[in-house]
Chain A
């Protein structure tokens, strides 16, 4: 079946630094990738939708200059949290979609900003 690899699974960083999270579709080409944020015991909050080779579409209230998304190829999307602060600590999940398989999720990244 379709597999999406997300790295790192956990990261701890200092306030003010930037963190990059990678999301790769391993055995299919993802036409669209989605980035979510999930707070403890809550549902997923869509942050942005990205299509390969074009700018990401951000959801209302999500700072595009803080959460940089790059979708340079059909198999790779990255989310960079810039100038991270403790309030950015969260669980981030990517999802890749192709026209046949539907939506496949990465295993998530637990970001802790100290």
Chain B
């Protein structure tokens, strides 16, 4: 069975500092991995996804994530935090094959950016 663990339900950084949001997964088949961002009372927006191509994935808004199979990790980073990055971030995994391929979600990490 697949699962996702996001370490740290709350992360606080200063504006301009490095953002690191951790995600570890378990999967018995090659996974697809996703990071989504959610602003209050809104749906989810895809930041980036890994689908078995390059292990370093660049996404929108300056975010990137690196797939490390040996560590079963897909941590999200951004070199310099901006106030507008404050939001809820979700990591998700899905199977790379199969008809329905539903997403399995982490519990989310709330990112606060301090001035």
Picked from A34, A49, A107, the residue with its CB within 8 Å of the CB of B43 is A107
Do B41 and A43 touch (CB < 8 A)?
no
Known: A43-B108, A44-B90, A102-B49. A107 touches B103 (CB 8 A): no
A42 contacts B46, CB within 8 Å?
Answer: no
CB of A93 within 8 Å of the partner chain: yes
Number of interface residues of A (CB under 8 A): 24
Q: Which of A104, A105, A106, A110 has a CB less than 8 Å from the CB of B41?
A: A110
Residue of chain A at shortest CB distance from B101:
A97
Q: Is B31 an interface residue (CB 8 A)?
A: no
Residue ranges of B at the interface with A (Cβ–Cβ < 8 Å) = 34, 36, 41-46, 49, 51, 90, 99-103, 105-108, 110
Chain A residues within CB distance 8 Å of chain B: 4, 6, 32, 34, 41-44, 46, 49, 51, 57, 91, 93, 95, 97, 102-108, 110
